[in-house]
Amino acid sequence: MKKARALVALTAAILAASACGQPEFTYVKDRAGTTYFKVPATFTRLDASPIELYLTGDHPDSQAALLRAQRVWSTAFDRSADPSVEHLLGSAEPFVYATVHQLTAEQRDSISLNRLRDFILPVTRDTRRAYLQQAVMTGRPPLLHDFEPISDEVLTLDDGARGVRVRFSYQIGRDTQTFDHTAVLDGRGATVSVLLIGCRSTCHRKRAAEFDQIASSFKLLRSPG
């Protein structure tokens, strides 16, 4: 009996030690090492290239896509048991998309806080209006409906960097999706780093603290170059 109890205790200790050795977070840096954030280790990392093609409409073999790949780094993480890049705009579990853009000279001249707000999805009134007009012109029903603003914060950061953190919801299909969007322009005006977290509104309300933890970890480590 004593041997059996000792074996049980030893097994429990081994399992506890193994659990303690498992990382709690996945720590992420962009290709140039300028931008950092962390996500819980329970998230699955995905290839974000299909998201880039979806957002731009570029053909994967086009010159535009090749040039964009040189200027843009991106990654994605999905908490779903069945992870997919399609969860960017619709998921019952949190989905994280991050990207860092090296700006062209033309983009540097036109960057603004509103441009940072609209970097992934239409958020400002003018961009939402343009999005709807484009849908009418193409004859395709818009995917995004019934925009609802939640919060809008301007960020003043170290070394002259600035940015925004906005939270908002859209009706997409039958569900309302809530998004937490942080976009930062570095102090030299050379790069924009963006973190977008999304899931259904019911999920967001339950896991708001987790969203805050991920968003608050999103930082510029240094200026590019």
In angstroms, the CA 198 to CA 97 distance is 9
Looking at residues 147-159, what average pLDDT do you find?
94
Which contiguous run of DSSP H or E holds residue 166?
A: strand 162-172
pLDDT over 80 at 22, yes or no: no
Which of the four pLDDT bands, split at 50, 70 and 90, describes residue 156?
A: confident
Q: What is the mean pLDDT of the chain?
A: 88
pLDDT in the model for residue 54: 87
Q: Which residues, including other chains, have CB under 8 Å from residue 180's CB and lie 6 or more apart?
A: 165, 167, 196, 197, 198, 204, 211, 215
Identify the weakest region by mean pLDDT among 56-60, 76-80, 121-125, 208-212.
Answer: 56-60
Predicted confidence (pLDDT) per residue in 181-197, tens digit? 999 999 999 999 999 99
> At 148, phi and psi to the nearest 5?
-135, 110
Q: What pLDDT, on the 0 to 100 scale, is given for residue 188? A: 92
The least confident of 59-73, 133-147, 171-185 is 59-73
The packing angle between helices 49-56 and 63-71, to 10°, is 120
Confidence of residue 15 (pLDDT cuts 50, 70, 90): very low
Question: Does 201 have pLDDT greater than 60?
Answer: yes
Q: Give per-residue pLDDT as tens, 68-97.
A: 778 899 999 999 999 999 999 999 999 999
- The domain 23-220 having CATH identifier 3.40.1000.10: the answer here is yes
Please give the pLDDT value at position 70: 81
pLDDT of residue 63: 75
